[in-house]
């Protein structure tokens, strides 16, 4: 079976993990800080705080920005559940923002429309999701957010290694927070680098970074210089805020550190596969590739095509089944969040035309560093034969 996504682990990765397993620290050890420093160097971040997964990264981001009850967070309608759920974890409400049907991304224009439509609400933050690894015009989205006094969180679960080009032609790695307050990452096995499970948050703000570190470990302080009470002693610690056990282990970070060393080769392979797919589907009357944005030098996490299933005379479910019967896995990224029963019950019926058009046609084909040329050729042949 050719899956839509898969991790790529080699002996170097295995050896790096074994070294930790044979050492003194399995968690709360030095490799966690090593990984954070390496990631900071990779993306140009001032501060990196690692955590247990991409969802906890988003939750910590909400907590660190003091978002809570009676606040409202704007989230693109096309994204994974966690992008909106993190706001609900802290008691905030969600406003769904429409997307460009040709990219699945929130745009400056759709953000402005959503802000205007909900200007009577206590809007606090925007979650800007880089679907498939591609980023929209961050500079304009940041400008709009600032005009309305909104925090800006980049959900870069798909975008490790993506570079944004601003209006002056200057390049910025996603994660450098050149046009945001916080950026969150995920290192789930199907992402560009794998850690089993893992996440991270980057920020330029030292106070926010300190709060993130506090909250990821029970709100517990061990440094005597920061204690608020009168008791002291080598055993002593203080819980100064209600925090969580969102730490990540040295085992995960050992794998992440090793994988980071291969990031550039992983990205290059993914870009080459995307280019090959694009060439293969260029003349199809039923398949459209995602619009490629000039603002984004993309480290592709997903390869998404937009298919005219009506013209094809075949439902998406049947199309996916036919490919599965040939040993090819596909997926849909994503169902509009407001379709989910939980959000329907909470906010009633929502219908955003861009999100609906995108969802009606999107399909993710296999894309991962270990995908061979023969496997990709088989995918292309099967898709074109059925399309």
* Per annotation, catalytic residue among 191, 211, 213, 269: 191
- Of residues 308, 331, 252, 309, the one with CA closest to residue 53: 252
191 as an active site residue: the answer is yes
Q: What are 152's strand-pairing partners?
A: 126
Q: Give CA–CA dist 138/124, Å, rounded.
A: 18
Kindly state the tokens that stand for 279.
Answer: 């060439």
3-state secondary structure of 118: coil
| Kind of pairing between the strands at 296-297 and 163-165 | antiparallel
Task: Give the C-alpha separation, 319 to 105, whole Å.
Answer: 25
How crowded is residue 297: how many other Cβ atoms within 10 Å of its Cβ? 18
Distance (Å, whole) CA 361 – CA 286: 10
11-17: which pairs have CB atoms within 8 A and are 24 or more residues apart?
A: 12/258, 12/261, 13/255, 13/258, 13/259, 16/254, 16/255, 16/257, 16/258, 17/251, 17/254, 17/255, 17/258
**CA distances from residue 295 to 68, 146, 167, 171 in whole angstroms, order as listed:** 33, 20, 8, 9
> Could you give the residue numbers annotated as active site?
191
């Amino acid at each position: 079976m050719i899956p839509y996504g898969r991790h790529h682990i080699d002996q170097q990765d295995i050896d790096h993990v074994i070294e930790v397993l044979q050492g003194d620290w399995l968690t709360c050890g030095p490799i966690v800080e090593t990984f954070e420093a390496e990631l900071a160097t990779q993306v140009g971040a001032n501060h990196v705080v690692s955590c247990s997964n991409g969802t906890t990264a988003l939750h910590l981001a909400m907590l660190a920005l003091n978002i809570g009850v009676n606040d409202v967070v704007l989230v693109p309608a096309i994204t994974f559940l966690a992008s909106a759920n993190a706001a609900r974890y802290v008691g905030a409400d969600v406003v769904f923002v429409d997307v460009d049907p040709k990219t699945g991304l929130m745009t400056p224009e759709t953000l402005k429309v959503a802000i205007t439509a909900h200007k009577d609400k206590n809007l606090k933050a925007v979650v800007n999701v880089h679907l498939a690894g591609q980023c929209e015009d961050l500079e304009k989205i940041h400008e709009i957010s600032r005009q309305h006094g909104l925090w800006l969180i980049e959900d870069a679960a798909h975008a490790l290694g993506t570079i944004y080009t601003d209006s002056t032609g200057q390049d910025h790695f996603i994660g450098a927070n050149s046009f945001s307050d916080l950026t969150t990452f995920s290192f789930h096995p199907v992402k560009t680098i794998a850690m089993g499970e893992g996440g991270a948050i980057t920020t330029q703000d030292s106070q926010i970074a300190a709060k993130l570190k506090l909250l990821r470990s029970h709100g517990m302080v061990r440094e005597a210089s920061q204690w608020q009470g009168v008791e002291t002693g080598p055993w002593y610690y203080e819980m100064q805020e209600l925090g969580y056990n969102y730490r990540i282990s040295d085992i995960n970070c050992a794998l992440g550190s090793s994988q980071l060393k291969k990031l550039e080769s992983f990205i290059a392979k993914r870009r080459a596969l995307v280019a090959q797919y694009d060439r293969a589907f260029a003349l199809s009357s039923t398949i459209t590739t995602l619009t490629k944005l000039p603002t984004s030098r993309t480290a592709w996490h997903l390869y998404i095509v937009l298919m005219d299933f009506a013209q094809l005379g075949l439902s998406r479910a049947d199309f996916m089944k036919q490919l599965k019967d040939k040993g090819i896995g596909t997926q849909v990224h994503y169902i509009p969040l407001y379709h989910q029963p939980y959000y329907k019950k909470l906010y009633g019926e929502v219908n955003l035309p861009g999100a609906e058009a995108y969802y009606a046609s999107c399909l993710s084909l296999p894309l991962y560093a270990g995908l061979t040329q023969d496997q990709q050729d088989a995918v292309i042949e099967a898709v074109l034969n059925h399309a």
